Amino acid sequence: MKTVTIIGFNGALASAITGVIDLFRMAGVTWARVHGESPQSYFRTRLLTQTGDACRCINGLTIGADGSWQDVAPLGEHDLVIIPTIGAPIDQVLADNPGLVSWLSQFRSAGGDQVRVASNCTGAFLLAEAGILDGRQATTHWGFSNQFRQRFPEVDLQPDRLVTVDGHVACAGGGMAWWDLGIYLVERHAGAQVARELAKAFVIDAGRSSQAPYSALQARRYHSDTAILKLQEWLDSHYSQSVTLESLASLSGLTERSLIRRFKAATGDTPTGYLQVLRIESARQHLENSRFTIEEVTRLVGYEDVSSFSRLFRKHTGLAPGVYRSRFGR
């Protein structure tokens, strides 16, 4: 199992600690219990503080720690560290935690595309103070974006983004965006099916007009390759058409080989595989919200053969289209 380490400090937002712990602990568990299946845990979690003592959150809640981050062995390449929201005055928390800033600096040069350290909301100030975000895209709460830019001019701040992922570092925006960040990280570490089931089991919408934050597709947009982002936007409107690798390469201005390489690096999938997921996502929405027949849904999302579409749908969702509609249709 993956180890998720949440860093506690006085003045943190309690929900950004306990909520993240709940989310990772219940991945593979809640959905299974709801359906009478055997739970499978994917993550172990621990809350670490500087001394191993409890941290007192901004709401007055005291949360016991599992140990000290000063005493842990070097973190493995698959371990994940999450910095919660700073609820107290930001400058005060930064000044009170020089040891934590120094400890976090170990993540400055960690390589690879697998996220190893992440922050929620104003927790990004701690990552930036440690120099982890220099030259990288990041986000934080929009209300503190000017303060962030003034203090950390070397960071490519994107305050309009809900989640940013740049190499091994991820950041989430507003105070409750730990949900979006958590679903993304569950998907990357445990798979899209586990993430989707977790989102449905928790029934969290928070007034959003779209379910995209809980979707595997949304997670695949958290990257900084603008050419691939533009191609993804084009596919949003043209996925039901006949699309070839040659036509995508032409649209992106890349060779087919470069397109495949960059698309894979940015999204974790090939252009063809991503197109399939896009079509399946559209089919899911039709099956959940419309009365179109399965044959009609097949054609609407760009396929002709119902049996081939059904096999592909089952491969991505674990359910036949008809069973999916009976379970999730409104």
- Asked whether the beta carbons of 189 and 219 are under 8 A apart, the reply is no
Ordered DSSP codes for 205-219:
-TT-S-SGGGSHHHH
On the question of pLDDT at 260 being above 90, the answer is: yes
Ordered DSSP codes for 276-299:
HHHHHHHHHHHHHH----HHHHHH
In this predicted structure, which of 86-95, 152-161, 246-255 has the lowest mean pLDDT?
152-161
Q: What is the pLDDT of residue 109?
A: 78
- Asked whether the beta carbons of 155 and 169 are under 8 A apart, the reply is no
pLDDT tens by residue, 26-44 = 888 887 888 888 888 999 9
Comparing 276 with 212, the larger pLDDT belongs to 276
Instruction: Kindly state the percentage of the chain with pLDDT values over 90.
Output: 56
Give me the residue label for tokens 């983004």. Answer: 161
Q: pLDDT grade, residue 319 (50/70/90)?
A: confident
Rounded distance between C-alpha atoms, residue 221 and residue 197, angstroms: 20
Average pLDDT over residues 111-140: 90
Rounded distance between C-alpha atoms, residue 142 and residue 174, angstroms: 7
Q: What is the pLDDT of residue 176?
A: 79
CA end-to-end distance (rounded Å), the chain = 35
Rounded distance between C-alpha atoms, residue 35 and residue 41, angstroms: 15
On the question of pLDDT at 277 being above 70, the answer is: yes
Rounded distance between C-alpha atoms, residue 117 and residue 136, angstroms: 13
Rounded distance between C-alpha atoms, residue 307 and residue 313, angstroms: 10
Give me the residue label for tokens 């409104």. Answer: 330
Token representation of residue 230 = 């533009």
On the question of pLDDT at 73 being above 80, the answer is: no
Average pLDDT over residues 269-295: 92
Mean pLDDT, all residues of the chain = 87
On the question of pLDDT at 125 being above 50, the answer is: yes
Q: pLDDT grade, residue 209 (50/70/90)?
A: very low
- Asked whether the beta carbons of 82 and 9 are under 8 A apart, the reply is no
